[in-house]
Structure 1
Amino acid sequence: MDSITHLFYGGAIAAAIAPKGHRRAALLAGAALNTLPDLDVIPLALFGDPVAQMTCHRGLTHSWLVLPFVAWAIWALFKRRGGRVAAEPVRWWWAIFACLMAHPFIDSFTVYGTQLFWPLPMRPIMWSSLFIIDPLFTLPWLAACVVAWFARERLAAKALAVGVALGFAYLGWSLLAKTLVEREASRALLAMGLPDAPRFSVPTPLNTLLWRVVAMTPDGYVEGFRSIVADSAPMRFHAYRSDVAALDEARGVPAVARLLWFNHHFAKAEVRDGVLSLSDLRMGNEPDYFFRFDVAQRTGAGWQALRPRQESPPRDFATAWDATWQRIWREPASPPRTAVDDPGALPASRATE
């Protein structure tokens, strides 16, 4: 999630657990503790390798196998120094532990991917039911922290309880919405002859009402959108090509292998002027993706690794949000045109349904 959400999310959790007289200190401590795992971006910035920066973020500092030891070290340090932690060591242990563990937990609900069990050789976890910035998820945590800071004890305790409950209720709603969308997507993909295609679903920016679904095909992928509040017709998909032959040939390039591991093979491959470019299909939508890397150069002997270069992501967020807002409330009147001329991109089906 975004840094602002982590501040209030952590503050509310810590204040809900800490002793009554330590409420304000817990709000500040929780905000700091829940921000701590994301400080891995500082050393990663020194790598100079955008692929390493992307795929190592949410690794060691987000691991449930590492963070309990970090929590113990912080707790032991402050307990030894005396003060609030020494006065109420049990409550503060659970506050510190919960804040640190809660950070990667909520990050796992985004599509980016979180290595919850680093260093085990597991792909990043991406439950993808929340967009990385969602104001309606942030709001209850923020409100709880504001009330808890200014209100008297009884009202502060109630505000924290309600804020935490509403925050996790919204998380539950996001999972329900995802289930509804995936049910419709499964029906449409079955009709298209793609019942077992690898796929993912993810909410569009700043909401959980409009969802995007991508399924991989032998020649590329299909992309569709579903509004929970507006759509009633069967879900429709738009087909796109990916240079799967070039991608298969370049799998031995370290940056290619690393990206495919990280993005669960949800990647678009393009060759331009002999350079292989990979786009992460999970973040953005056709044709604009936030993570696009030049990773290999075609040579006579095949593909040679390049020092990875990240292309600039799209910047017109206002236009994108306006289109998203309109699509949330309005179902398209007619199916979109296919993005490929050859219907063979979809086995036993047309490009759109």
Structure 2
Amino acid sequence: MDSLTQIALGSAVGVAVMGRRTAVWKAALWGAVAGTLPDLDAFIDHGDPILNMTRHRAESHALFFLTLAAPLLGWIASRLDHRADGFQRRAAPSWNRTPSGGSDPRSGGAWGHWTLALWLVLITHPLLDAMTVYGTQLLLPFSDHPYGVGSIFIIDLAYTVPLIVGVVAALRLKDARGQRWNAAGLVLSTLYLAWSFGAQQHVDRIARSSLQQAGIDAQGLLVTPAPFNTVLWRLVATTPTQYHEGYYSLLDDQAEVRWTAYPRGGDLIARHGHTDPVARIAAFSHGFFSLHNGGDSLLLTDLRMGLEPSYTFRFDLGSPAAVGHVPVTQLGMRPDLGRALPWLWQRLQGNTHATLGAATP
């Protein structure tokens, strides 16, 4: 998910666990910090754009390594918390000081409490990421399988806003009412995740029925939401030689999908599929990729993230004879937002005749 969402989730979890044991702002701040840490791997340059893609959400998102990091991070937080609390007691007027060893519930959290809170913050980050389609390697070092449920888009305000509202309320109220607001935000966002998964399974059944009716013998089927919502869904079905793209809105009148076929480059895949860049993307994308001739170069595309013909991850592999032996270049393309957003709104409402505008590089 996007950085703002991970900060909001981390803060909400931190407040939920530590909000009664320390100052609410400390719980929210440490939650935001721990919620951001796993994504710092995005600043690591592996020297190759495909490696940069497939090594993101790797060790820094692995449950095993995050569990090992939690006690150390919890120790740092508890030490700083107690030092800050001691400074505040010394700076307070004598008539307003809390006696040492007193029962003030906000006198600083213990190491065990901070460890639990930050462990929950750390592991909820990759677990949420795994609900997107990108691919999160949760089980490293035991498995490098990239998990991606694909039931929520990387930016979805319906998930993020309840978290932000709950945290802000907790920071402003600083009492049990604020805790209830924060808990409500976590519950609503979690229910939205459950809704997205249920909606995905519903659309999956419709898509498989439509494929059967269309006589398409698909090897793989991808069902993932269109940007910013869970009402309109993008569908990609692959065969050895083609991929078929379609859209289905929960507001459509008919429970059917109109498929558009595109060449996938079956001959090129058979010829170059063993090379390192193609094999990496094939594994990371779970087979949802294409390979095309682009003039003097081969173009490798991850079909999961984008709207035809615009894709976030498209790579120039160089000449066919040199694939795997020359530097790879990433070619980014995005839709023309002036056309794409109106189409998205119209298609979401069930307008099956809406057409998407052309892409711009």
Query: Do the two structures share a fold, i.e. TM-score over 0.5?
Result: yes
In structure 2, what is the Cα distance between the partners aligned to 1:82 and 1:304?
Answer: 51
Pick closer, same or farther for the CA change 1:316–1:48 going to 2, 3 Å: farther
Q: Is the 8 A contact 1:297 1:304 kept in 2?
A: no
Amino acid in structure 2 at the alignment position of 1:8: A
* Two-structure CA RMSD over aligned residues (Å): 2.1
> 2:13 matched to which residue of 1?
13
Q: Partners in 1 of 2:238 and 2:208 — Cα distance?
A: 13
Pair 1:199-2:221 in alignment: yes
Range with greater deviation from structure 2 (244-253 or 172-181): 244-253
CA contact (8 A) 1:186 1:195 kept: no
Which residue does the alignment assign to 1:91? 113
| Counterpart residue number, 1:330 | 350
Are 2:67 and 1:48 aligned? no
Q: Deviations over 1:76-103 (max 9, x none)?
A: 3344566179743332221110000010
| 2:8–2:167 CA contact under 8 A, matched in 1 | yes
**Percent identity among equivalent residues?**
33
Q: Find the residue that maps to 1:145 and give its secondary structure.
A: helix
User: Secondary structure of the residue that 2:171 maps to in structure 1?
Assistant: helix
* Structure 1 letter corresponding to 2:74: W
Kindly provide the CA deviation profile for residues 17-66 of structure 1, in whole angstroms up to 9, marking residues without a partner as x: 1141432100111011001000001123xx33111111100001000111
How far did residue 306 of structure 1 move?
Answer: 2.5
Q: 1:334 to 1:263 in 2, by over 3 A?
A: closer
Per-residue CA deviation, residues 137-164 of structure 1 (Å, 9 max, x unaligned), is 1110010111011013021111011111
Higher alpha-carbon deviation: 72-81 or 263-272 = 72-81
The 3-state SS of whatever aligns with 1:205 is coil
- Kindly indicate whether the alpha-carbon contact (under 8 Å) linking 2:16 and 2:179 is maintained by their aligned counterparts in 1: yes
SS in 1 for 2:317: strand
Matches within 5 A, 1:94-105: 94-105=116-127
CA distance in structure 2 between the partners assigned to 1:207 and 1:231 by the alignment: 19
Asked whether 1:320 is paired with 2:340, we answer yes
Alignment of 1:53-132 (within 5 A): 53-79=52-78, 83=82, 87-132=109-154
Q: Is the 8 A contact 1:205 1:321 kept in 2?
A: no
Tell me if 1:277 matches 2:299: yes
The alignment's TM-score, normalised by the length of structure 1, stands at 0.89
Alignment of 1:102-251 (within 5 A): 102-194=124-216, 197-251=219-273
Q: Give the total of aligned pairs.
A: 332
For 1:261 and 1:65, how far apart are their aligned partners in 2? 22
Counterpart in the other structure of 1:38 = 39
The letter for the 2-side match of 1:272 is G
Alignment gaps of 5+ in structure 2: 86-106, 357-361
Q: For residue 341 of structure 1, what is the aligned residue in structure 2?
A: none
Deviation at 1:335, TM superposition (A): 11
- The residue type paired with residue 24 of structure 2 is R
Distance 2:255 2:125 in 1: 38
AA partner of residue 100 (structure 1): L
Q: Paired residue for 2:325, among 301, 305, 313?
A: 305
SS in structure 1 at match of 2:162: helix
Q: C-alpha displacement at 1:290, in angstroms?
A: 0.9
Question: For residues 110 and 156 of structure 1, what CA distance do their matches in structure 2 show?
Answer: 30
How far did 1:320 drift? 1.4
TM-score normalised by structure 2 residue count: 0.87
Secondary structure of 1:248's aligned partner: helix
Change (3 A) 1:12 1:334: closer
3-state SS of paired residue (2:320): strand
CA, structure 1 residues 35+82, in 2 after alignment: closer, same or farther (shift >3 Å)?
closer
- Divergent runs of 4+, >2 A: 76-82, 84-91, 119-123, 192-197, 302-306, 315-319, 333-336
Deviates more, 1:134-143 or 1:151-160: 151-160
Q: Which amino acid is 1:62 matched to?
A: H
Deviations 1:244-291 (A, max 9, x none): 111221123211111111111100111122311111100002111111
Question: Using a 3 Å threshold, how does the CA distance of structure 1 residues 275 and 64 change in structure 2: closer, same or farther?
Answer: same
Aligned letter for 1:291? F
Cα distance in 2 between the residues matched to 1:208 and 1:330:
13
1:306 & 1:220 partners in 2: Cα distance?
A: 27
Distance 1:171 1:326 in 2: 24
**Inter-CA distance 208–330: structure 2 relative to 1 (3 Å threshold):** same
Q: Which residue of 2 aligns with 1:349?
A: none
Who wins on radius of gyration, i.e. which is larger?
A: 2
State whether residues 63 and 117 of structure 1, in contact with CA within 8 Å, keep that contact through their aligned partners in structure 2: yes
Question: Displacement of 1:130 after TM fit?
Answer: 0.5
Q: Which amino acid aligns with 2:224?
A: V
Q: Which runs of 5+ in 1 are unaligned?
A: 337-353
Cα distance in 2, alignment partners of residues 335 and 194 from structure 1: 23
Output the CA distance in 1 between the equivalents of 2:51 and 2:129: 19
Match of residue 344 from structure 1: none
